[in-house]
Amino acid sequence: MIELLTPTQIDEMRPAGKFVASVLTAVSEAADVGVDLLDLDALAHQMIRERGAESCYIDYHPSFGAMPFGKVLCTSVNDAVLHGLPHSYKLRDGDLVSFDFAASVDGWVCDSAVSVVVGTPREEDVRLIAHAQEALDAAIAVAHAGNKVGDISAAIGEVGRSHGLKINTQFGGHGVGRTMHGDPHVANDGRAGRGFPLKPGLVIAIEPWFLHTTDEIVMDEDGWTIRSADGSRGAHVEHTIAITEGDPIVMTARG
């Protein structure tokens, strides 16, 4: 079911977006060489408790997950790109890490992701993150009432292909509201002018993710972490946005 929110409800959702953005900023700034992924998850958990928010991840158990997630932050390192399950791993110089975080504040959910390089960056990793961000910006630019979900998908795919990247469409964006995952599905490639019409009140998470040299993925032994099939690195970025009569509102804007 696709839900359209009123302007008042969108305003009520803003604190959730602000909180999610603040957590991602905090964990990105705390990520450094020698920092353990479990410590970053603990930081996010502490912020949830202090805010009186609720984690969308800790009890999450979809059909593709081996068990309830059990943590509050996704930490995907290097060849991992999605749903990285935090474990005891100390970040190393040059690691590319993606943080994905969703939380509920006062009953409203927002979802966002960011990719950063720890220590000394590789040029190809910096470019990959930039390509993912370019795709997200292009998608948001066409997220206007009167367009279609396919316009968002096509914008992401066009950017990815322009940089010689292959696009996986198994996981993508989604509706957001009272729950983390709802309709419509927002694929990272598609045909412009197709799909559900974008209407004022629609709130969606848009999340491009790219791998250096493949679009094939495999599930890690932990039953959650998704990695590239060829060991190449991945980048993932995401914002929750609200469609309005005018420009879209980026609910999870940072800074």
CA distances from 4 to 101, 176, 195, 198, 248 (A): 23, 10, 16, 10, 14
Q: Is 163 annotated as a binding residue?
A: no
Q: Is 238 annotated as a binding residue?
A: yes
* Beta strand ranges found along the chain (DSSP E): 54-55, 74-77, 80-82, 96-105, 108-117, 173-175, 182-186, 203-206, 209-211, 217-219, 226-228, 234-236, 239-242, 249-250
Q: What is the distance between the alpha carbons of residues 6 and 17, in angstroms, rounded to a whole number? A: 16
Which DSSP letter does residue 90 get? B
Q: Residue 83 annotated as binding?
A: yes
Token pair for residue 11? 């305003």
Which parts of the chain fold into alpha helices (H)? Answer: 7-30, 37-51, 123-141, 149-162
- Is 12 assigned a ligand-binding role in the annotation? no
Residue 208 to residue 162: CA distance in whole angstroms: 14
According to the annotation, is 100 in a ligand binding site?
Answer: yes
- 111 belongs to an annotated ligand binding site: yes
Binding annotation: 83, 100, 111, 174, 181, 207, 238
Annotated binding site for a divalent metal cation: 100, 111, 174, 207, 238
Where is the binding site for substrate, in residues? 83, 181
